Amino acid sequence: MSHPDPTRPHAARLGGRTRHQGLPQPGLAPGAIGVASFGHMATDGVDWHGSLGLNTAHCTIVVVDVEGFGRYSRTNPNKVRVRRGMYRAIERAFAAADIPWAACRHADLGDGVLVLAPAQVSKTLFVDLLLGALADELVAHNGLHPPPERIRLRLALHAGEVSYDDHGVTGSSILHAQQLIDARELKRALMETKAVLAVIASDWVFDEVIRHSERSFADAYQRVDAEGGRAWIRLLARGRDLRRRRWAG
């Protein structure tokens, strides 16, 4: 498994969070997932008053954030081990859920990761299999590491159109996912429990995917009114849900 090179400079965060990672594929827009280029886009002499053709694709969007990553009790070696553990847990969970990690685009966020999965990957794999597998991987990691290197994750799940350019990705769907991961309702939900994984699904994902799947444990989600709009939260420990409780106030 490869890990981000800490000596390599990163581009500025997208929307305050995102850093670009990955190499362009031949015949595709830089970093695009199965999206043919709309032709050469000049970088010099751009007519800012003209129309702009976008390279876009519909993706499943996963944003993961480590709780308390920057807390003072964590030294830099602790942080490196946390990052390694996070990537290992995510990649193994993707494999367990039969979601091809190599087919996804992922951008390092320093204290987390943004993953974009192509539309060809079924969204039910994320809600049916990925979440429980990831919780189990986190429990396994935590059982082998001291407190400063134990991991609890927040995870936002959304889907929508993503636009690509020479610098990376952007779009309202990514910004919405970032709003969800930063929702105070999600942070409070994880803080008040012993869960290893707190999931927040967008209203679209819940209404179109989760509630229609008999394996997604839809009744384990609780609706909240977050800053970015209505969303649904689920807490997991050891691959199973914690008892439902009201944490929104």
Integer Cα distance of 126 and 137 in angstroms? 15
Residues 143, 98 contacting (CB under 8 angstroms) = no
Integer Cα distance of 1 and 59 in angstroms? 24
Tokens representing 83 are 């990052």
Render each residue's pLDDT in the chain as its tens digit; 249 residues.
444 444 444 443 443 444 444 433 433 333 333 333 333 344 444 455 555 567 889 999 999 999 999 999 999 999 999 999 999 999 999 999 999 999 999 999 999 999 999 999 999 999 999 999 999 999 999 999 999 999 999 999 999 999 988 888 899 999 999 999 999 999 999 998 999 999 999 999 999 999 999 999 999 999 999 887 899 999 999 877 765 555 444
Q: What is the pLDDT of residue 135?
A: 97
Q: What is the pLDDT of residue 52?
A: 59
Q: Which residue ranges make up each domain of the chain?
A: 55-241
CATH 3.30.70.1230 fits 55-241, yes or no: yes
Q: What is the pLDDT of residue 181?
A: 96
Integer Cα distance of 112 and 7 in angstroms? 18
Count Cβ neighbours within 10 Å for each residue of 42-77 and write b for 16 or more, e otherwise: eeeeeeeeeeeebbbbebbbbbbbbbbbeeeebeee
Integer Cα distance of 186 and 202 in angstroms? 12
Residues 89, 135 contacting (CB under 8 angstroms) = no
